[in-house]
A and B are shown apart, each in its own frame.
Chain A
Amino acid sequence: MENLLKVTIDGKSIEVPPGTTILQAARQLGGNYPPAMCYYSSLKDTGGKCRVCLVKVAQTSETNPRPMPKLVASCLTRVEQGMVVENQSSPEVLEARNGVVEFLLINHPLDCPVCDQAGECDLQNLSYEHGTEGTRYEEQRREFNKIDIGPYVQLHMTRCILCYRCVYAAEQLTDSRVHGVLNRGDVSEISTYIQNAIDKDFSGNIIDVCPVGALTDKTYRFKQRVWFSKPFNAHRSCAKCSGQTIAWMKGDAIIRITARKNAFGEVEDFICNECRFEHKQLSDWTIEGPRDMGEDSVISANKYELPVISPAVNVDAKFVSE
């Protein structure tokens, strides 16, 4: 292989091609890679904004053994030959990350009990690991009115963390972007130009890339807590997209269709709006079998291979202890 670069992250080394970022290298190493709330590997120009992926570069390179003066965004910083990185092993990184999570939460409504995203929310997961029980924030929280952005998607701006993923997704996946970021600072908001409906094909993917519950599926609103539904790999033949989806079932009914996500929470293959919103009949789909959501997911806590009879039977020890 042509000149690979060796990088050491929390004591573990890996060789990667030039151009690889610290975050990508860390993901290849597995284990405790830095979290990412704004970076999305399949969307160009994402990253650098949320700052939860900050890491410490203890040695810049073989030839430049000095540390980098500040913590750097691992999603954008490229690996150099002989770079040494501290992620979870650095108290400084953990303190900074806890700080960022606190910042993300101070104006968040914490309305998980009524939020469709709960159970598959990156912010919720992040706060389990890096948040505190209480809050030091006593001021009034920021609130926005809900904005109606068409037949399929509900924008609940109060929950948005301004990761810009949906903006890049719309820019790169649909034929024209009709929403963006308006205003500045902590009153910035995701909005459509003069309440334009987001009904471009492929626009439904903004729901999947949103790390929180700011963009939710109107055809699924309040239908079910995700952990009480059962995800199945499903496909249909589609002229517009791969047709490879997850069908979320409740009994024999399909209550939601989403794209399939990988271990890093990123969509494997973006799907079209027709597959996502218009085919909710079991007969529309070929069901391949249960979808493995990974051990850590609260969704896996529910043994969905078994028929749901009563919660007591299905709730395993892990779920109870959490």
Chain B
Amino acid sequence: MKILLEHIDKPGIQSIDGYIKNGGYRSVEKALKQLSPDQLVEEVKTSGLRGRGGAGFPTGMKWSFLDKKSDKPKYLVCNADESEPGTFKDRYLMEHIPHLLIEGMIVSSFALTAKTSYIYVRGEMMYIIRILEKAIAEAYAKGYLGKNILGSGYDLDLYVQAGGGAYICGEETALLESLEGKRGNPRNKPPFPAVWGLYGCPTVVNNVETIAAVPWIVNNGGAAYAGIGIGKSTGTKLISACGNINKPGVYEIELGLPVEEFIYSETYCGGIANGRELKAVVAGGSSVPILPKNLILKTANQDARLMSYESLSDGGFISGTMLGSGGFIVFDDQSCIVRNLWNFTRFYHHESCGQCSPCREGTGWMEKVLHRIEHGHGKLTDIDLLVDVAKKIEGKTICPLGEAAAWPVASAIRHFRDEFEAHVRNPESCNARHLHFETAMSH
């Protein structure tokens, strides 16, 4: 079952003509002419669609929190800042089928009574910005954007904004600050964007994939969408798969697909590369807990682990993880958990905005300790120190980057403590392996 990528291979789908030929922009006609904004919000509620940016918050509920009674303008902002290591689904969608996002933005803006909307695109992805700007120009020319869209009386202007070049600008309130032209520092919440968002006005921030699912829901009804998937994980999800697998890439899966099938089936990852064995998976982008083979394929209760919000988080942080943004990173039996963790912490250290003390200081501390362990200068007490520092960051920060930095550390040590100890006890073998990595990287 494909909803987002159904037409991705059709010739000319990038252009508006090719897109319309394949049924594109039908939802705009239907929404603007037959449905009211409140009916649209209800449809999305019925669909059970959950935010695809990482947290999985029910989209219809988020929309209903928007303070529509406020006499200030309302804004819809699409979060296309995609920068989480391992996550590359939004850019794939925007590159290959940009009009799906534009169509989604139009109907979603209408549902939220927004007359100005923004797509905030990661600044490094200039080619995506050009694609979107071209698509938006085409949509204006065809009367899907601008004044009095399709004679409905609804006006909408849509802008693309290049991001500030920082992972933190993907956090929704940092994004709003950046969009306002300021330093991309996350805001303290409450107030949430639904009440105090862009320029202090009621605002909804949604991920690219979330918004791209809306046209299908409008065309086919929320109930039909809710019929796809499993339990409260309705619909389909884009998974960007990478690491030691035969077929890295972006896949659209129906939520509820067994993890084992996703890793080993030829339709998806095609098994572990070079005939090696599976060791561990980071299932939802670099910030979610890593799970070893036994726990990613089966839950602690020995049920098959499924690609769904509930199944992946089954067992909490003791034996579970999260679906997150759908960045699926696979490690084979040769990969080094310590080295990978050091790499992740290096990222969070580099990307912390530096506003709040636990994240600013803690991310750097963890990176430095891991750097020592990975380079053969660790001590056994460093391992518990890392766990403690992670704990002192988690839950104490302004925004969830703190957790995103702490969870990988806590989970890697929880499930692979022996590997950390081995690094401390055998510094020489670390150094040998280190050399191996350096040579591999220089080729």
Contact = CB atoms under 8 A, between A and B. Distances in A.
A188 B360 contact: yes
A51 B397 contact: yes
Contacts of A106: 361, 365
Interface in B242-268: none
Interface stretch (A25-33, A96-104, A145-153): A96-104
Interface stretch (B43-51, B135-143, B202-210, B344-352): B344-352
Interface string B152-192: 00000000000000101000000000000001000010000
Nearest to A105: B361
B227 interface: no
A50 B350 CA distance: 19
- Give the secondary structure class of A's interface: loop
B385 interface: yes
A185 B368 contact: no
A49 B362 contact: no
A12 interface: no
Contacts of A85: none
Interface string A102-131: 111011000000000000000000000000
Interface string B348-371: 011111111110111111001100
Interface string A137-164: 1011000000000000000000001101
Nearest to A139: B368
Q: Range of interface residues on chain A?
A: 20 to 34
Contacts of A70: 395-396
Nearest to B377: A138
B349 A186 contact: yes
Q: Range of interface residues on chain B?
A: 20 to 34
B363 A186 contact: yes
A14 interface: no
B163 to A, nearest CB: 14
A181 interface: yes
B396 A100 contact: yes
B149 interface: no
Nearest to A182: B183
Given A54-B396, A139-B365, A139-B369, A185 B356 contact: no
Given A76-B188, A185-B363, A162 B385 contact: no
B273 interface: no
Interface of A: 47-52, 54, 70-71, 73, 76, 95-96, 99-100, 102-104, 106-107, 136-137, 139-140, 161-162, 164, 181, 183-188
29 contacts: A48-B356, A49-B356, A49-B398, A70-B396, A76-B188, A95-B392, A100-B392, A103-B357, A103-B365, A103-B392, A106-B361, A137-B365, A139-B365, A139-B368, A161-B357, A162-B355, A162-B357, A162-B360, A181-B183, A184-B353, A185-B349, A185-B350, A185-B351, A185-B352, A185-B360, A186-B352, A186-B361, A186-B363, A186-B364
Lowest 9 A-B CB distances belong to which pairs?
Answer: A99-B392, A103-B361, A188-B354, A48-B188, A185-B352, A139-B368, A185-B354, A186-B364, A70-B395
